[in-house]
Structure 1
Amino acid sequence: MDVKNKVAIVTGAAGGIGAAIAQRLLEAGAKVVISDLDAQRLQATADRLANEIDPKRVIAVAGDAAATETITRLIEAAEGHLGPVDIYFANAGVGDASGLDADDAQWQQALEVNLMAHVRAARKLVPAWLERGSGYFVSTASAAGLLTQIGSATYSVSKNGAVAFSEWLAVTYGAQGIGVSCLCPMGVDTNMLNGGNQNDGTARKTTSAVTSAGEVLDPLVVADEVLKALADETFLILPHESVQEFRRRKVADPDRWIRGMQRYAGSLVHG
């Protein structure tokens, strides 16, 4: 898909990958609604993008990306100010360093934001896209959605769900004009990743598992890969090439892969 003159919604866009995607979209000529739960940071990002690129092509709508009410407001804001939505980036995400100690509230938050936010957005958008014969859904999952995340059960399970839902969308609607891509990076220089460096114990181990596995990328580098994938209509977006090899090993010999992950986790405990 050529993003020029297209209308896009990007959630989780106050910073990190979301803000970077919004920037690259605007630079490529798209019109963008950005959203985030943090209204103050979101407005600062919108102001920066407006000043640096074009104030007429970016608007900000704060809210919870997992709430149907927020998704509805985002779509209405786009249609009212920019035009019908062409692309939806389900990018908002949450992570923690919980294992079996995670309570039901932590599980619920992870599943709501990392998975159900995608389901609810697709539920609102896909019927209209089918009528138009075009539309594009981009899910931000994680390498953890293809592999797993040492130290975080909630993140691993919810991101695996996001990958599975993206695959289902592509299989079900791809032949009817609906494009689907799923972004699965490893380490990206964002607040979510860097926050773990400031904590002890499991949180620091979770962050170390990511930063030790490969290069930590700038969000704009990831955004470049996303726009390239849209242009090529590529399903799986892997900014870290090593993820494909890790995935191949997992599929080829799951038992060997799990033993290797056990050793890696052990090295983080003692490292």
Structure 2
Amino acid sequence: MSPDLERFSINQMTVRQLPMPDLVDACGRSGVTHVGLWREPVRAYGLEATAKLVRDAGLTVTTLCRGGFLTATDPVERAEALGDNHAAIDEAAALGTDTLVLVSGGLPPGSKDLRGARERIADALAVLAPYAAERGVRLAIEPLHPMYAADRCVVSTLAQALDLAERFPAEQVGVAVDTYHIWWDDQAPAQIARAGAAGRIHTFQLADWTTPLPEGVLNGRGQIGDGAIDMREWRGYAEAAGYTGPIEVELFNEGLWARDGREVLAETAERFVTHVIR
């Protein structure tokens, strides 16, 4: 493995067109030793089968995506969400990763109460965090760009994520730092320092911001080096805050998904070296 790739982790969504065995094989051939997995393809291939596959290949699972969606007001829906998150924690433990990424959830239908939605996240974390800790799993609250606040994630800044996380021990709840979602926020560097000082940076993820955004915007994350974000600068913020763990590249991009997945993996690794490491 190239020393330049020691910290590189490929998030499964970046090359979602690769079936699980092909993803693992491509990582081996590319010298990639870290991978971030998603629950849906893991379940499709089989939890135990996936755990054995990555273990036998010597891959480290850096994160599992995703838990969360904890803002419902309906008691039945809240119970279902908690049950799903308990299952996600169990899945993370079975895969050998210590980090479950949480996308918190948007406003319930008809609601305009952002503050109330965030409090319901805290209420859910009070149930989930001890359960996760017993299984060696940390919860990483991921703030998403404000354009997602209504329907996907009412936590839009690192400050908001840390305000929630700091109600719990750092070894239980921290944050996911994703350049795509926070690069616009001039307070983000200080919040990264805040998170690092408390040991709450549980994962660091990269994606570039390119324009124009596609219709629907969800699948608009650009390949590293194609957009407006200075990746070395953000790596510097994370490292100055004490983060020395894997750096995961997570891209939602229809153009990349239409290409050969092995080529995309190799390109992403090359871009990582060029725009993040060197």
Structure ranking higher in helix proportion: 1
- TM > 0.5 between the two? no
Structure scoring higher RCO (CA < 8 A, sep ≥ 6) equals 2
Higher share of residues assigned strand:
2
TM-score (ref. length: structure 2): 0.38
TM normalised by structure 1 equals: 0.38
